[in-house]
């Protein structure tokens, strides 16, 4: 399996400074590969990208808080990200991927460590199957956690009713993974807008380079999608870098300063941008 390319380790500062308390709500750390074993079911092999590398990027773009998301390459072994979470301290939170039968006491233990949700990933290989969604939602409801989903647009349309009825909030990765060639009227995107308006769903304004048909920033074809999501529920939108951008093999590696500037393109209003970057993450992830 060919390794993924590394991120741009020299991010530039954003043209539009991020507000104090800004939060990167979607990132991963990888490796060292000699210490943390990859899942044999993974769909890609990332390069080593350490917590120190990530924190340098955050300092450059002006993010003070962050959320680590368990990637598919580690399966349900959360050790690498729990170790990073412990090292990072109270300005970080985490979304885990857990075995469906993990004892409740273990869920409570990682809640104390800073975990705030469980991720289901059906886009990358090695994620949890959606048939366990409702049971997991019932198990994590007493913890105040949420379900995070990385699914494609067709899946959102198919399970819209189920997502709306879950007893916990649902956070959708990467703007629903709706590629811009599908159009704003695609049933999956329209379902996502309805879920946002309904009050139970959140969305991550992230991964523009995954959904754009343009190879480089500013990914202007994504602007109508991001603004439609913000209009549908700006109080439940959060922003994420998706550092270190795994599986970007078919286009130039984005610079994280360019990605930070997308927040200003999508939400030109300063108050709305602060809501997305500061207030909403504080509410969703429990930052003081």
Which of the residues are catalytic? 242
Query: How many percent of the chain have pLDDT more than 70?
Result: 99
**Is 14 a member of any domain?**
no
Q: What is the domain range of residue 203?
A: 23-285
Residue 16 lies in a domain: no
pLDDT above 70 (res 125): no
Answer whether residue 4 is part of any domain.
Answer: no
Q: Flag whether the pTM goes above 0.85.
A: yes
- Which distant-in-sequence residues (6+ apart) come within 8 Å of 75 by Cβ? 39, 41, 42, 97, 126
Q: What is the mean pLDDT of the chain?
A: 96
Q: Is residue 177 one of the residues assigned to a domain?
A: yes
Distance, CA of 70 to CA of 80 (rounded, Å): 9
User: Does residue 9 fall inside a structural domain?
Assistant: no
Domain assignment of residue 11, yes or no: no
**Position 231 in a domain:** yes
Count structural domains, the chain.
1
Residue 101 lies in a domain: yes
Domain CATH for 106: 3.20.20.140
Return the pLDDT at 249: 82
Q: pLDDT tens across 243-275, in order?
A: 999 988 888 999 999 999 999 999 999 999 999
């Amino acid at each position: 399996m060919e390794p993924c390319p590394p991120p741009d380790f020299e991010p530039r500062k954003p043209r539009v400074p991020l507000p104090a308390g800004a939060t990167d709500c979607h990132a991963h750390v990888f490796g060292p590969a000699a210490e943390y074993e990859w899942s044999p079911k993974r769909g890609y092999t990332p390069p080593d990208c350490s917590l120190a590398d990530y924190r340098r990027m955050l300092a450059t773009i002006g993010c003070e808080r962050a959320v680590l998301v368990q990637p598919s390459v580690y399966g349900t072994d959360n050790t690498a990200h729990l170790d990073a979470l412990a090292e990072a301290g109270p300005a970080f939170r985490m979304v885990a991927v857990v075995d469906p039968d993990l004892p409740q006491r273990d869920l409570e233990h990682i809640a104390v460590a800073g975990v705030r949700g469980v991720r289901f990933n059906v886009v990358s290989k090695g994620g949890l199957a959606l048939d366990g969604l409702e049971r997991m939602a019932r198990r994590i409801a007493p913890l105040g956690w949420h379900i995070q989903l990385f699914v494609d647009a067709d899946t959102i349309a198919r399970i819209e009713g189920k997502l709306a009825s879950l007893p916990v909030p649902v956070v959708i990765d990467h703007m629903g993974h709706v590629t811009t060639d599908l159009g704003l009227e695609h049933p999956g995107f329209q379902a996502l807008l309805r879920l946002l308006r309904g009050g139970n769903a959140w969305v991550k304004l992230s991964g523009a380079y995954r959904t754009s048909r343009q190879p480089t920033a500013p990914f202007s074809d994504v602007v109508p999608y991001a603004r439609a999501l913000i209009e549908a529920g700006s109080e439940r939108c959060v922003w994420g870098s998706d550092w270190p951008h795994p599986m970007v093999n078919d286009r130039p590696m984005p610079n994280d300063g360019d990605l930070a500037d997308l927040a200003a393109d999508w939400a030109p209003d300063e108050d709305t941008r602060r809501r997305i970057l500061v207030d909403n993450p504080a509410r969703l992830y429990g930052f003081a």
